């Protein structure tokens, strides 16, 4: 007979419980709690996620089927469906946002040495959003269209390890570019995004923070060439230019120079145009950023 820890208990040992306790105490998560602490709530929901429980009733029934092992998982009392549901609904969501940030930081260290074939050591993130359709009769708060409900999931994904660094859930009507107003940035990091995020004022703010961006250019973006650098067309680079905005509003919102790289994909034959505020990396690396995205 095996008297060792269960696999789930061994997984829970990787959780930095000291940090979790500090976060819970700061937010007062266990205030007035007698039956289900925040740590127990975390273990219960993690158990449900790892064992693919679809509803709370299924989760608590599974836990109740193993009363001896339940104590080994550090549950002081049997988990009741109503108690767990109340905890999920009423407890401060910022507790779990901060816990997730701690876990993400811990996980990112495991992938820090992954080679992206970009010859850079800085962090690289891909930013994108996806719309998730919802039934408006069930989720009446998720207004999108007249007869359709939806939420939009904005995700900043670290390309080393594909670990999310930032997630924001908004209503379906929120434009993707608005997430740049409150997205955290790291000086020296690269942020790769499509042309839907081409907002001159927000990108200038990102650049002023010391970060770099690579984004696609729109066909109607008014730019004038300031300088053309020599390039090797055999690599697919059609041009590597320093450019400036010509429109009044664009010049006011982004007064600095930009770099424009035109790349012809040898596999598809498509020509792609990228804008970036980084002037140091080779142009083929700028194109490779978008390919990695």
Element (H, E) at 264: strand 258-264
Q: Are residues 27 and 154 in the same domain?
A: no
Q: Are residues 138 and 201 in the same domain?
A: yes
What is the domain range of residue 252? 112-292
Q: Are residues 199 and 62 in the same domain?
A: no
pLDDT in tens, 60-88: 998 888 787 777 777 888 889 999 999 99
Q: Are strands 258-264 and 223-229 parallel, antiparallel or unpaired?
A: unpaired
**DSSP assignment letter at 142:** -
Q: Are residues 128 and 64 in the same domain?
A: no
Burial class (CB in 10 A: 0-12, 13-18, 19+), 211: buried
- Residue pair 23/16 in contact (Cβ under 8 Å)? The answer is no
Q: Are residues 34 and 63 in the same domain?
A: yes
Q: Are residues 212 and 244 in the same domain?
A: yes
The SS3 of residue 276 is: strand
pLDDT in tens, 135-169: 888 888 888 877 788 999 999 998 888 888 888 88
Q: Give a yes or no: residue 210 inside a domain.
A: yes
Please provide the DSSP assignment of 21-82 as one string: HHHHHHHTTTTT-SS--HHHHHHHHHHHHHTT--SHHHHHHHHHT-HHHHHHTT-SSPPPHH
**DSSP assignment letter at 14:** T
- Residue pair 72/5 in contact (Cβ under 8 Å)? The answer is yes
Q: Give a yes or no: residue 54 inside a domain.
A: yes
Q: Are residues 222 and 168 in the same domain?
A: yes
What pLDDT, on the 0 to 100 scale, is given for residue 162?
A: 82
CATH number at residue 263: 3.90.350.10
Given 57, 91, 109, the domain boundary residue is: 109
pLDDT in tens, 191-241: 999 988 989 999 999 999 999 999 988 888 888 999 988 888 888 899 999
Given 77, 92, 109, the domain boundary residue is: 109
Q: Are residues 105 and 117 in the same domain?
A: no
Looking at the predicted structure, is the pLDDT value of residue 2 above 60? no
**DSSP assignment letter at 176:** G
| Residue entry with tokens 């429980």 | 53
Q: Give a yes or no: residue 209 inside a domain.
A: yes
Q: How far apart are CA 221 and CA 239, in angstroms?
A: 17
What pLDDT, on the 0 to 100 scale, is given for residue 3?
A: 58
Given 109, 135, 155, the domain boundary residue is: 109
Number of structural domains in the chain: 2
> Please, what's the largest Cα pairwise distance for the chain?
77
Q: Give a yes or no: residue 2 inside a domain.
A: no
Q: Are residues 166 and 45 in the same domain?
A: no
Q: Are residues 74 and 116 in the same domain?
A: no
The two tokens of residue 170 are 């908004």
Q: How far apart are CA 261 and CA 273, in angstroms?
A: 6
Nearest by Cα to 218 from 275, 175, 280? 275
Q: Give a yes or no: residue 134 inside a domain.
A: yes
When pLDDT is cut at 50, 70 and 90, the band that residue 4 belongs to is low
pTM for the full model?
A: 0.81
């Amino acid at each position: 007979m095996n008297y060792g820890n269960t696999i789930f208990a061994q997984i829970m040992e990787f959780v930095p419980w000291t940090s979790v306790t500090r976060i819970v105490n700061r937010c007062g998560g266990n205030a007035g709690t007698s039956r289900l602490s925040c740590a127990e709530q975390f273990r219960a929901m993690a158990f449900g996620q790892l064992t693919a429980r679809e509803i709370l009733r299924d989760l608590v029934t599974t836990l109740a089927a193993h009363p001896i092992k339940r104590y080994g998982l550090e549950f002081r009392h049997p988990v009741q469906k109503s108690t767990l549901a109340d905890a999920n609904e009423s407890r401060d969501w910022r507790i779990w946002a901060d816990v997730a940030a701690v876990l993400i930081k811990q996980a990112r260290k495991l992938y820090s040495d992954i080679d992206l074939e970009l010859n850079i050591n800085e962090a690289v993130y891909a930013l994108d959003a996806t719309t998730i359709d919802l039934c408006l009769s069930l989720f009446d708060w998720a207004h999108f269209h007249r007869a359709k409900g939806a939420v939009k999931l904005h995700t900043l994904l670290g390309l080393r390890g594909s670990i999310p660094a930032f997630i924001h859930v908004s209503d379906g009507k929120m434009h993707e570019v608005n997430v740049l107003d409150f997205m955290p940035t790291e000086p020296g990091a690269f942020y790769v995004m499509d042309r839907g995020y081409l907002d001159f004022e927000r990108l200038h703010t990102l650049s002023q923070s010391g970060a770099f961006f690579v984004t696609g250019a729109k066909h109607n973006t008014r730019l004038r060439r300031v300088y053309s650098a020599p390039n090797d067309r055999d690599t697919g680079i059609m041009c590597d230019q320093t450019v400036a905005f010509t429109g009044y509003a664009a010049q006011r919102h982004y007064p600095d120079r930009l770099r424009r790289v035109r790349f012809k994909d040898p596999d598809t034959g498509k020509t792609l145009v990228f804008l970036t505020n980084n002037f140091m990396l080779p142009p083929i690396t700028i194109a490779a950023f978008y390919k990695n995205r």
